Amino acid sequence: MSSPNAPDRFNEEKSTFAVRGSGDAPDLEAGVAAIRNVLATLPTRPGVYRMQDARGDVLYVGKARALKNRVTNYTQVDRLSKRLQRMIAQTRSMTIVTTNNEAEALLLEAQLIKRYRPPYNVLLRDDKSFPFILLRSDHDFPRIQKHRGARRATGNYYGPFASAGSVNNTLNALQKLFLLRSCTDGFFKTRDRPCLLYQIKRCSAPCVGRISKEAYAELNNDAKAFLGGKSTQVQAKLGGQMEAAAAAMDFELAAILRDRLRALTFIQGSQAINAEGVGDADIFALANQNGVMGIQAFFIRGGQNWGHRSFFPQHTNEVGEADVLTSFLMQFYEEVPPPKAIFVDRDLPEAELLGEALGGAVGYKVALSVPQRGTRKRLMEQAQRNAVEALERRLAESTTQAKLLREVAELFDLAEPPDRIEVYDNSHIQGSAAVGAMVVAGPEGFRKGQYRKFNIKQAQTNDDFGMMREVFQRRFARAQAEDPDRDSGDWPDLVLIDGGRGQLNACKAILEEMGIEDVCLVGIAKGPMHGRDGREVFHMLDGREFQLPVNAPVLFYLQRLRDEVHRFVIGAHRDKRSKAIGASPLDEVPGIGPARKKALLMHFGTGRAVRNASLADLQQAPGVSAAVAQQVYDFYHGR
């Protein structure tokens, strides 16, 4: 589907209309006046409208078959829900985009919701893209691999899988079943003997000619057939080959084929859902308890279960279940290509329009339906049961989480339970590869999409306090610039620092320099037993220090926050260190590409030897011209 940043295929006739009320405070009359001002020139064509507040922030994105008719409804405030009345009271301007038809408007609406994440739209909260299996076709010996993100590589994509774990398990079994290579093209080129995967019977070693191009192509075609839903055909073929090998007394080949059949059986046996005959389909069921909604999704491809996943959309209060599911589906398929069949657990008023919009984006027909009988009905009942159970677990966890946050508020003298907690730490080895990190948590748990890494640029080596000051200066200077009024929800209610009194005072000082004195800072340090007794020391800004009982649930919660930032910053530090290990002094020389860098290193042995070489020696290196040799020499010798 098209990028949310480039709705080029829509006929945009974009205009912004604004009316200011008295000040920026919510004012229902001023909101209605702004909408009526738009109505004066609004067309009856299909399109999308955005409602914006006094600052220009998007409050709501909606689509309409006839814009004028739809927007007129917002002026009849007595007929609107309290939620929509609050939205109109904040509205001070509107932006209109017309489209060719309602299906295009539906697509554009989903793109803009994803881009702006308005507070009055139902939002699909999901920080990660879905993993796929990619069977590449741009090589004589195609590679099979896990893929996440934009689908730019040439090949066949199979997915989505519900999680990285499900795709990894399937990928491992597929390697045992079809012996396809998983290595990169660069690794493939440099091999002169088989790697370990060949020894453990998970690759056919095409890199060193242990299999012909034709035989590998047959394995590749079998993999495509299996992933395309023809597992029975592949099983029969392997069974026949094994029997033929046994009859010919080629027991070694028969054993290999037996192991491959076991791998196929493992994949089939790991299907918790029997979806034979369904083909390619996604199944969605919605559960609702007091306005909190959960959606369960099953992914079926080629009659195989590729996992299931729970979603909990935001901003669902006072929104109908059908509207929530419709909005969810449009946002969900903004990233994932839809199958030809989508099964839902209720009639959707815009099901036909939704299918038209999704089909128009991918180039084939997409149909939404409610299963009535047979396997499809049974799968839907299973999805509905899972949706209810997942929502009940979510509500139970939320209740526990709410209680913990109330205890956190009492512990640190907060006016109310924190909605946003930020936790900070830094990591380095004797000052090298220094990196800081921030993780974010709230009532719903960790918000991994809002984690941040900070490459330390200014602080001196081994200066932990300086590193923390730099992280805080960069984080809060940006917050002051982007959200000085603190109404975006991105300012923390509580800040936890992995460190003691020194780190706490350093962070306090930098915030005071910036004029920020109302953020609650708490340091978490290891106690006298260096954390072996599980009793950290909490340092407060007023000088207080205290410990919590070792069995206190709030202590476990705070330790979990601290452990998460520690895990995240250590991972960031390792990534940075790995990149530094692979770096070369020649990377800094302008105009030196990979080929010449390799030629110089192969000739001189080390980067230091290149730096110390004379101009005449540089000119003797193979593949290095006189001009390049002069450039390298001048770079190191300051000419």
Judgement on whether residues 253 and 362 belong to the same structural domain of the protein: no
Judgement on whether residues 154 and 259 belong to the same structural domain of the protein: yes
pLDDT recorded at residue 32: 92
pTM: 0.66
Judgement on whether residues 567 and 623 belong to the same structural domain of the protein: no
pLDDT recorded at residue 20: 43
Judgement on whether residues 429 and 543 belong to the same structural domain of the protein: yes
The list of the chain residues with pLDDT below 50 reads 1-9, 11-15, 19-23, 270-272
Query: Does residue 123 lie within any of the structural domains?
Result: no
pLDDT recorded at residue 231: 65
Which residues does 123 contact at the CB level (< 8 Å), separation at least 6? 113, 117, 313, 314, 315, 331
* Residue that is last in its domain, among 269, 290, 317: 269
pLDDT recorded at residue 293: 92
Judgement on whether residues 600 and 464 belong to the same structural domain of the protein: no
pLDDT recorded at residue 592: 74
pLDDT recorded at residue 351: 92
Q: Check which CATH number belongs to the domain holding 603 and give it.
A: 1.10.150.20
Judgement on whether residues 225 and 342 belong to the same structural domain of the protein: no
Q: How many domains does the chain have?
A: 5
Distance of CA 20 to the CA centre of its chain: 38
Residue found by looking up tokens 């941040």 in the block: 452
pLDDT recorded at residue 252: 73
Query: Does residue 6 lie within any of the structural domains?
Result: no
Q: For 612-623, b where at least 16 C-beta lie within 10 A, e where not — what string? A: ebeeeebbebee
* Residue that is last in its domain, among 269, 304, 324: 269
Which residues does 311 contact at the CB level (< 8 Å), separation at least 6? 124, 125, 126, 294, 295, 296, 297, 328, 332
- Structure tokens of 217? 């192509």
Judgement on whether residues 315 and 237 belong to the same structural domain of the protein: no
Query: Does residue 2 lie within any of the structural domains?
Result: no
Residue found by looking up tokens 């589907």 in the block: 1
pLDDT recorded at residue 2: 40
pLDDT recorded at residue 216: 92
Query: Does residue 402 lie within any of the structural domains?
Result: no
Could you tell me the residue range of the domain that residue 388 belongs to? 281-392
Q: How far apart are CA 358 and CA 631, in angstroms?
A: 55
Return the HEC string of 450-516. HCEEEECCCCCCCCHHHHHHHHHHHHHHHHHHHCCCCCCCCCCCEEEEECCHHHHHHHHHHHHHCCC
Long-range contacts of 451-455 (CB under 8 A, 24+ apart): 451/568, 453/568, 453/569, 453/572, 454/426, 455/576
Query: Does residue 68 lie within any of the structural domains?
Result: yes
Residue found by looking up tokens 């012996």 in the block: 179
Judgement on whether residues 453 and 575 belong to the same structural domain of the protein: yes
Query: Does residue 407 lie within any of the structural domains?
Result: no
Judgement on whether residues 293 and 318 belong to the same structural domain of the protein: yes
Query: Does residue 398 lie within any of the structural domains?
Result: no
Query: Does residue 121 lie within any of the structural domains?
Result: no
Judgement on whether residues 455 and 559 belong to the same structural domain of the protein: yes
In three-state secondary structure terms, 439 is: strand
pLDDT recorded at residue 484: 81
Judgement on whether residues 572 and 593 belong to the same structural domain of the protein: no
Q: Check which CATH number belongs to the domain holding 432 and give it.
A: 3.30.420.340
* Residue that is last in its domain, among 580, 596, 626: 580
Within 13 A of 84's CA, how many CA atoms are on the CB side?
Answer: 15
Q: Check which CATH number belongs to the domain holding 69 and give it.
A: 3.40.1440.10
Judgement on whether residues 575 and 594 belong to the same structural domain of the protein: no
